């Protein structure tokens, strides 16, 4: 895909399994030069990462960006907290939702748009174990129904 377009670098597939997604929002990331180079090389992992408000700003924790090999000693810390770029009213709204309703902020997807790294951030509610089992059963039923419909066509 073209760098100027909308190319997905990585997805957090586990997030949709563990959480009910309430809302999504796009955020920019404050990155160093070696971090963006590693992201463009797709050496990044969203698993176990989350966002948290602090001092009127939004921070992304546990996003793992591998060190950029050619940088040697000028590299970044792979798991450092990274600041998210959001409007002030968006930060206040997200902070209110997290504090009042017991929701959490989970990254769903990291992508490049117009040569800038963007993060799709979800306001989510954690699923209980029985909810996860129910979702698996429903998904299996849908898959079987689609297979049965497909078999009838031929």
Q: Give me the pLDDT at residue 151, please.
A: 66
Return the pLDDT at 4. 52
The model's pLDDT over 37-79, given as tens digits with 9 standing for 90+, comes to 889 999 999 988 999 999 989 999 999 988 888 877 778 878 8
Element (H, E) at 129: helix 129-153
List beta partners, residue 56: none
Rounded Cα gap, residues 129 and 150, in angstroms: 32
Provide the pLDDT for residue 111.
95
Q: What is the pLDDT at residue 29?
A: 94
**Distance from C-alpha of 76 to C-alpha of 32, rounded to nearest angstrom:** 8
Residue 93 · residue 53 · CB < 8 Å: no
- Ranges of residues in the chain with a pLDDT under 50 are 1-3
Mapped onto helix, strand or coil, the DSSP state of residue 77 is coil
Return the SS3 of 100.
Answer: helix
Alpha carbon distance 26, 74 (integer Å)? 30
Nearest to 112 by CA among 120, 123, 101: 120
* Whether the predicted model's global pTM rises above the 0.85 cut: no
Other Cβ atoms closer than 10 A to 64: 14
Region for residue 55 given its phi and psi (left: phi exceeds 0; alpha: psi -120 to 50; beta: otherwise): left
Res 5: pLDDT: 61
């Amino acid at each position: 895909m073209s760098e100027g377009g909308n190319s997905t670098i990585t997805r957090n597939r586990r997030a949709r399994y563990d959480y009910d997604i309430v809302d999504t929002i796009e955020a920019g990331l404050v990155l160093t030069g070696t971090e963006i180079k590693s992201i463009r090389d797709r050496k990044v992992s969203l698993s176990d990462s989350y966002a948290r408000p602090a001092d009127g700003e939004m921070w992304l924790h546990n996003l793992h960006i591998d060190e950029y090999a050619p940088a040697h000693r000028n590299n970044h810390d792979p798991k450092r907290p990274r600041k998210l770029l959001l409007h002030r009213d968006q930060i206040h709204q997200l902070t209110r939702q997290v504090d009042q309703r017991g929701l959490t902020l989970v990254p769903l997807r990291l992508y490049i748009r117009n040569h800038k790294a963007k993060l799709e951030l979800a306001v989510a509610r954690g699923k209980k174990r029985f909810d996860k089992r129910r979702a698996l059963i429903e998904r299996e039923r849908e898959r079987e129904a689609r297979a049965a419909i497909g078999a009838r066509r031929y």
